[in-house]
Structure 1
Amino acid sequence: MRVRLPDVPGTLGLIAATMGTIDADIRSVDVVEHDPDGTVVDDVVVDLPAGRLADALISAAQEVDGVYVDSIRPFSGTVDRRGQISLLAELARHRRRTVDSVQKLIDALPKSMSVQWAVILESGEKTRRVAASSSAPEDDGRVLSETPVAEPRALTDRDTWVPSSWTVMDSALAATPLSGTDYILILGRPGGPDFLLSEIEHLGEVGEILGALLS
């Protein structure tokens, strides 16, 4: 659940209290972005009891003054940035076995980056898909003649090379090159929310670190 709330001490505690009224349990909280207007954007993982509708989460959270639920999406586990440290350690152990490293990277990224799927493209004279997480959609098999992503950014309707299967359910997409390699990392969130600027910046930093380990 992505929530925008006042950056005031105690607000998150009030949200937790309202979650308790519907027997929902907050499992983890990740601060995504601080806005200049005095609000903060959090990704909150909530365990919802069987039989409860997701709409109940929205109603409960928005009982707190100034709180707005931006989106809700299914998610397994918790949002824990320590998972990225584990991912980097695993890559370091397998850095000389590039094929193994790329697959381990793609398997671990969705949970550590709070997305539903990830795909790795290899660029060069031709750009093609080389690895994907288990939940990643299929593509149309096209081989691109040029590198489609030169910097970390969100992908939009102007990116006509993006397969239509990647955009179902109004998926939000973001991509970054892995610095020093021919790899491009694509992340997808079916149903959103859109990637915020802070998330794009974070993705770019992750791309620099992962590229250094894989190059």
Structure 2
Amino acid sequence: MAFLLRVELPDVPGSLGALATALGEAGADIEAIEIVEHRSDGFAVDDVLLELPPTVMPDALITACHRLEGVHVHWISRYTAGANLSMDLEAVEAFTDEPDLAIERLVEVIPATFRTDWAMAIGPGEDGAALLFGSPTAPRLVPECDDWLSTGAAGSLPELPAWDSTVLAGAPGETRNGLGFLVVVGRHGGPEFLPSEIARLGHMVSLAASVQTEGD
């Protein structure tokens, strides 16, 4: 059973090795580790993709991590996006290979790349916000989504009562022929989107908009 663990730890030599050892001793089989953010306060935030046997509960991993000095678990959840963490370069290749479908392909790869539950691209419609593209589990738009059309920069979005406990972020873009759109991503129950994740999302949206050709 695959799980994704987001953990904060001291950004010093040996910390990651100690974490890997503690998780292994707790019964986890580590598949991949990705550095999410280096912080100025001497800590780093990492995502750890791991497999757990049915006999090991996720709480055991949290306990193992918190036994290490300076280590704090932000979040742990089931991970269903695949067996590997998708790197940014792979996501970029997915939408640059088909320039006429760049925005659609970007929406498809965002959940695995950013570990979100869903992604969508919206744009102005006749009666407010309209769905342009969405991943399979993206929710239906609600009237409150109309306010997102004025989003001027990548950042966190306010939670919506209709989408209970979903943490949201968005990044606007504009294609070369003037089509404005907003890519919105959601995580059920968190964690909050880090500044580094929002910056990456904004960069990818801008790149997809710049390569989008006919069909936009």
Query: How does the TM-score come out when normalised to structure 2?
Result: 0.84
Residue matched to 1:118: 119
Partners of 1:151 and 1:177 within 8 A in 2: yes
Residue matched to 1:203: 201
The yes-or-no answer on 1:54 pairing with 2:58 is: yes
Residue matched to 1:70: 74
Q: Which residue identity is paired with 1:78? A: N
User: Compared with structure 1, are the counterparts of its residues 105 and 205 closer, same or farther at alpha carbon in structure 2 (3 Å cutoff)?
Assistant: closer
Partners of 1:124 and 1:147 within 8 A in 2: no
User: Compared with structure 1, are the counterparts of its residues 12 and 202 closer, same or farther at alpha carbon in structure 2 (3 Å cutoff)?
Assistant: same
User: Compared with structure 1, are the counterparts of its residues 52 and 143 closer, same or farther at alpha carbon in structure 2 (3 Å cutoff)?
Assistant: closer
Following the alignment from structure 1 to structure 2, what is the Cα–Cα distance between the partners of residues 72 and 146? 29
User: Compared with structure 1, are the counterparts of its residues 136 and 33 closer, same or farther at alpha carbon in structure 2 (3 Å cutoff)?
Assistant: same
Once the two structures are superposed, what CA deviation does each residue of 1:126-185 show, in whole Å capped at 9, x if it has no partner? 42112111122233377838823221010125xxxx5x343x2x2211000124342210
User: Compared with structure 1, are the counterparts of its residues 80 and 108 closer, same or farther at alpha carbon in structure 2 (3 Å cutoff)?
Assistant: closer
Q: Percent identity?
A: 30
User: Compared with structure 1, are the counterparts of its residues 92 and 34 closer, same or farther at alpha carbon in structure 2 (3 Å cutoff)?
Assistant: closer
RMSD: 2.2
Once the two structures are superposed, what CA deviation does each residue of 1:91-144 show, in whole Å capped at 9, x if it has no partner? 223223x4xx44332222100122111011023664211211112223337783
Partners of 1:117 and 1:187 within 8 A in 2: yes
Residue matched to 1:103: 104
Following the alignment from structure 2 to structure 1, what is the Cα–Cα distance between the partners of residues 186 and 42? 29
Following the alignment from structure 2 to structure 1, what is the Cα–Cα distance between the partners of residues 124 and 198? 20
User: For structure 1, which runs of at least 5 residues remain unmatched after alignment?
Assistant: none
Please state whether the residue corresponding to 1:178 is helix, strand or coil. strand
Following the alignment from structure 2 to structure 1, what is the Cα–Cα distance between the partners of residues 107 and 90? 13
Q: Which residue identity is paired with 1:88? A: V
Q: Which residue, 107, 124, 133 being the options, matches 1:131?
A: 133
What does 1:20-39 align with in structure 2 at a 5 Å threshold?
20-39=24-43
Partners of 2:6 and 2:73 within 8 A in 1: yes
Equivalences, count: 203
Partners of 2:66 and 2:73 within 8 A in 1: yes
User: For structure 2, which runs of at least 5 residues remain unmatched after alignment?
Assistant: none
The yes-or-no answer on 1:43 pairing with 2:35 is: no
